[in-house]
Amino acid sequence: MLLSGVGPANQLRENNIEVVANRKNIGANLQDHPSVMIEYERKTRSVFQENLRFDRLFLNMVRAQLFKSGPATHPLGFGTGFVKSRPELSLPDIQLFFRLFLVQSREWFPLIREPGPTGIGLLACHLRPEARGTVSLASSNPNDAPRIINNFLASDMDRQAIRQAFKIKRSIAAQPAFAEHIGAEMMPGKDVRSDDQIDAFIRETAITVFHPIGTCRMGADEDSVVDPQLNVRGCENLRVVDASIMPDLVGGNINAPVIMIAEKGADYILGK
């Protein structure tokens, strides 16, 4: 919409774009789920790693397509749960993922390509961040990527929450039930102990889990980008039907809400 002249007037003029509708909040309110990983050595054999051998991987994919069974039909070693970073919270603000492989895992075959390292990863995702970012134009050239500023960890509350999530992950990994499976901490390592050290590690390694929302916020107020029927305010015959209309993040994956938005948007467009 920015390239088409719908957005903050000052930004459009700076990029020599004719202003069709001055909507100051288009591109504002960007939200996402920042996440951080801890990795551990694995003491037990990795079935996932074994099945990444080229021939086994091929056969498992065929089996999944033809018979809907086998390792390729299973989640990739995930376990998940929801916890609170502070006991006084009414809802969990952290989602934990227990992953039985490392991101460095890769396809392999004897004498041709070595397998990647084996390990176990614990990912913590901050579900309800305070920080808000922006999406804006870099230029009027549609081939130029936009400027995306997430502002991850810009809030003290966000930093405290994800730091506590980091400590919760460590406490889980240290439980006696995991002693025969989990070895030494590979990343960041046992020397990272103080809050300052943990915060530095989080700043260096925090990632997105690709849940961006909010830059075309829906609302009943005149400052919202779209109205409750998903019409862009100040324009005719223009709707936004995607995750950008969500005013706030949900406490989990955005897949289901996006499907709901698409269903409802289709009904509006068809006049149902």
251-252-255-257 Cα dihedral, nearest 10 degrees: -20
Handedness of CA 156, 161, 166, 170 (dihedral sign): positive
| Catalytic residue check, 74 | no
| 3-class DSSP assignment, residue 95 | strand
148: which 2 tokens?
Answer: 């995306």
Looking at residue 34, its amino acid is P
Looking at residue 190, its amino acid is K
**Set 33, 74, 181, 211: catalytic member:** 211
Phi, psi of 252 (to 5 degrees): 170, -165
| 3-class DSSP assignment, residue 138 | coil
Q: Contacts from 188-195 at CB under 8 Å and sequence distance 24+?
A: 188/38, 195/163
Pairing label, strands 120-126, 34-42? antiparallel
Tell me which residue has tokens 């925090």.
Answer: 206
Active site residues: 211
